[in-house]
Amino acid sequence: MGIITIEQNDSLFWLGRYTERVYTTVKLYANHYDTMIDEIAESYQKFCIDMNIPDIYGSKDNFIKSYAFDNDNPDSIISNMTRAYDNAIILRDEIGSDGLSYIQLSMYDIQKAEKSHSPMLEIQKLIDHILAFWGYMDDSIDSKRTRDAIKVGKRLERIDLYARLKVPRAQLSKEISKLYYRLPVSGLPYNKFKLEEIKMLAESEKVDYYNIVENIESLVEI
Amino acid sequence: MEDMYKLLEYTDSVNELLARYGVKFGIYKNNTFKEQLFPFDSIPRIIKADEFAVLEKGLKQRVVALNLFLKDIYSKKSIVKDGIVPEDFIFASSGYMPQMEGAFPVNDIYSHISGIDLVQSKDGGWYILEDNLRVPSGASYPMIARDLCRRSAPDVFANTAIEDNRNYADLLRRTMDNVNVGGHTVILTPGRYNAAYFEHSYLAERTGAHLVTNNALTVEDDKLYYLDASGKKERVGAVYRRISDEYLDPINFNSESLIGIPHIFDVFKKGNVAIINAPGNGVADDKGIYYFVPKMIKYYLGEEPILNNAPTYLPFYEEDMKYVLDNFDNLVLKDVAEAGGYGVVFGSKLSSTEKEDFINLLKSEPRRFIGQEVIDFKDLEILDDGNIVPRKADLRAFVLMADEPLVWRSGLTRYSRNPDSFIVNSSQGGGFKDTWVLSR
């Protein structure tokens, strides 16, 4: 097993989290964007409630612009993409120039989308590049430790978002199951009791989404 | 060589690929950090095999002499005692580090990686402009650009015999391994907000060295260790540091440094880690000491210098001060403490008031400046807005001291994008080219 610094290990984990956050929120954003074209103009309000983020937007147009492209909005897609980039940029020697290039391209995609008259076309490229990064990671990153740290971050973030969005039990359990087996072998410090509790909460008669979110946030201790 | 113009149609594609791979440099403007792309011009500088053979020989000679000078200065000081270099140029130099007295780097190598800046005059002669023996940067740019050009126009490379410059990582690894005293090799970076961070991370990737900031290293029992995320400590045998001397060790040097490693210099002095390049090299690449390098070559090697300095005058000497004042408008004046194209003044471009002020400063601080004849650089062609135009350019050649001196058969060619400027530095808007050394 190769050596890796604490700083790099943390960044791999957060790179996984932020790429997943961008990926999932972009897909949700795209769904609401479509709904708001000619169906429910206030669809974004439900989005804010589901995501448990403050509704600072006031209008559909402002939501479309600010949630996607406002660097000063900490919840925005571009802010999360920037955080993914900030973590990736210090990992070139771990993920390789090719791996890093997909994150760089994703960053350019969101910047181009902001300037585009058809932002959703550019945003599709962003989705493609994030998927390419994940594919590259599986295919070309030899270090299991590196892959595990990214994948744990990605899975943990997905469970967090899915629990907030109250997705069906089967969908959530599938993700929890993957995390349940990967986290203990990843070498990342975590709370074993919380992992068991998350599994139990998803299996309970009525899925306890609220407590899953509570536990997932403090599961990995970095 | 007409084939090289086929690369023109790929200029945009190669620049897009450079952007994709994050080939950037950082710059601070108005206290804000910004990453900028380094503009690449696809028309290479071409150096013929026999011409480069002379450069190679001259560069090795120069760097070997500079290493001997550093060893001498931090031990016997024979060159001062023998009156070749005045002591004013040693002990008053900001690059001189008294802490290095009595420290002996592994294999007596001080400057493992030297960046030697040259220009070619219109008559084809090469002149050394500057020696960079501290933390010279720039090799990564032509290395990655070559890779991308080969992807873009493979037929050009199939039809032209060019030395492959992508071996720089192998040369660097050999250089680092040559002095590693046992343990891991790391590249120490100040962090991602450093101007050359791309290079630090790219060289780590290509050499297989571990990229670290100071947080990952610690000194215990006079040894240097890497702190692994699992809590293990692993011995480090060589540090290619990309931070300057004064910030390297807050205990031994600048106590305010937040990016250094306490006591690393003590580990180095005990021979328990190699620091690449060694601290204290600034005394040998000071613009003032540059004047003496040809004399060093004769003194230490008993040889005539193969490569020439640009004609240089030291106002420190009365005779040279007179020459500088008499020929002020024809000279370029350089502040020895400045770098990156700053502190450079062309006499002819000053107003009469500015000139008077400058001369007063020169007279009050003669050791601070050198005067040089303005060399009429040979222009290189660049593509500018669809047109091929001539621009000033220099060449940074890289000499690596491994188990033997090695000259990288390429180099960073930087050019000025401004038609009226001789300043080629990236921080001042310059671009770069690949440097092709023909292999036959």
pLDDT digits (tens, 9 = 90+) for B313-336: 999 999 999 999 999 999 999 998
Query: Does A9 reach chain B within 8 Å, measured CB to CB?
Result: yes
Question: In the numeric block, which tokens belong to residue A129?
Answer: 């590049």
Rounded to 5°, angle at Cα B21 from B15 and B23: 65
pLDDT score, position B336: 85
Least-confidence region, from B375-379, B409-413, B431-435 = B375-379
Q: What is the CA radius of gyration of chain A?
A: 18
pLDDT score, position A50: 86
Q: Are B164 and B271 in contact (CB under 8 A)?
A: no
CA distance to B6, B147, B419, per residue, from B130 (Å): 33, 28, 22
Q: Closest Cα of chain A to B94: distance in Å? A: 32
Report helix, strand or coil for B206: helix
Residue position matching structure tokens 């900490």? A74
| Residue-wise DSSP of B323-382 | HHHHTGGGEEEEETT--TTTTEEEGGGS-HHHHHHHHHHHHH-GGGEEEEE---BPPEEE
d(CA B357, CA B361): 6
Residue position matching structure tokens 């960079």? B132
pLDDT score, position A111: 97
Instruction: Note which residues in 100-129 of chain A have CB less than 8 A from chain B.
Output: 100-101, 104-105, 108
Question: In the numeric block, which tokens belong to residue B189?
Answer: 């970076």
Q: pLDDT band for position B182 (50/70/90)?
A: very high
Q: Is the pLDDT of residue B262 over 90?
A: yes
Contact A89 B201 (CB under 8 A): yes
Segments of A113-199 assigned E as strands? none
Q: pLDDT band for position B360 (50/70/90)?
A: very high
Q: Is the pLDDT of residue B36 over 70?
A: yes
Domain B311-373: give its CATH architecture: 2-Layer Sandwich (3.30)
Nearest CB neighbour to A7, from listed B209, B213, B232: B213
Share of chain A above pLDDT 70, in %: 100
Asked whether residue A222 is domain-assigned, the answer is no
Segment B211-223 shows an average pLDDT of: 97
Nearest CB neighbour to A6, from listed B20, B210, B227: B227
Asked whether residue A41 is domain-assigned, the answer is yes
Asked whether residue A133 is domain-assigned, the answer is yes
Asked whether residue A129 is domain-assigned, the answer is yes
pLDDT score, position A40: 86
Q: Which of A4, A90, A93, A148 to mutate to test the interface with B (most CBs of B within 10 A)?
A: A93
Q: pLDDT band for position B285 (50/70/90)?
A: very high
The pLDDT mean for chain B works out to 94
d(CA A9, CA A11): 5
Segment B163-189 shows an average pLDDT of: 98
Segment B114-135 shows an average pLDDT of: 94
d(CA B378, CA B392): 7
Q: Are B369 and B360 in contact (CB under 8 A)?
A: no
Pick the closest to residue B47 from B414, B423, B411 (CA basis).
Answer: B411
- Going by their DSSP bridges, the two strands B210-212 and B431-437 should be labelled as unpaired
Please report residues of B whose CB lies closer than 8 A to that of A92: 22, 201-202, 204-205, 211
Nearest CB neighbour to A93, from listed B191, B197, B211: B211
Q: Is the pLDDT of residue A169 over 70?
A: yes
Share of chain B above pLDDT 70, in %: 98
Cβ-count burial B24-42 (b if 16+ within 10 Å, e if not): bbbeeeeeeeeeeebbbbb
Q: Is the pLDDT of residue A42 over 90?
A: no
Segment B8-34 shows an average pLDDT of: 91
Pick the closest to residue B377 from B32, B10, B19, B45 (CA basis).
Answer: B45
Contact A5 B232 (CB under 8 A): no
Neighbours of B208 (CB within 10 A): 12
Structure letter (DSSP) for residue B214: G
Segment B189-199 shows an average pLDDT of: 95
Q: pLDDT band for position B290 (50/70/90)?
A: very high
Give the residues across from B36 on adjacent strands: B25
pLDDT in tens, A9-39: 999 999 999 999 999 999 999 988 888 888 8
Q: pLDDT band for position B118 (50/70/90)?
A: very high
Q: Closest Cα of chain B to A4: distance in Å? A: 5
Q: Is B37 left (phi over 0), alpha (psi -120 to 50) or beta?
A: beta
Contact A108 B19 (CB under 8 A): yes
Say how many domains are in chain A.
Answer: 1
Segment A164-186 shows an average pLDDT of: 95
Segment B90-108 shows an average pLDDT of: 94
Q: Is the pLDDT of residue B1 over 80?
A: no
Report helix, strand or coil for A144: helix
d(CA A214, CA B312): 71
Asked whether residue A1 is domain-assigned, the answer is no
Asked whether residue A32 is domain-assigned, the answer is yes
Question: In the numeric block, which tokens belong to residue B110?
Answer: 């001080």
What's the domain range around A100? 6-217
Give the residues across from B432 on adjacent strands: B40, B414
Report helix, strand or coil for B89: helix
Asked whether residue A189 is domain-assigned, the answer is yes
Segment B339-363 shows an average pLDDT of: 89
What residue ranges of chain B are covered by domains with CATH 3.30.1490.270? 311-373
Please report residues of B whose CB lies closer than 8 A to that of A101: 20-22
Question: In the numeric block, which tokens belong to residue B176?
Answer: 């680092």
| Residue-wise DSSP of A87-120 | HHGGGHHHHHHHHHHHHHHHHHHHHHHHH-SSHH
pLDDT score, position A65: 94
Question: In the numeric block, which tokens belong to residue A168?
Answer: 């069906």
Class of residue B53 by CB neighbours under 10 A (exposed 0-12, middle 13-18, buried 19+): middle
Which residue on chain A is closest to B21 by alpha carbon?
A101
Neighbours of A117 (CB within 10 A): 5
Share of chain B above pLDDT 90, in %: 85
pLDDT in tens, A98-137: 999 999 999 999 999 999 999 999 999 999 999 999 999 9
Q: pLDDT band for position B343 (50/70/90)?
A: confident
Q: pLDDT band for position B174 (50/70/90)?
A: very high
Question: In the numeric block, which tokens belong to residue B416?
Answer: 């000025």
Cα dihedral B305→B94→B112→B289 (10° resolution): 0
Interface of B with A (CB under 8 A): 19-22, 144, 184, 191-192, 197, 201-202, 204-205, 209-213, 215-216, 226-230, 232, 234
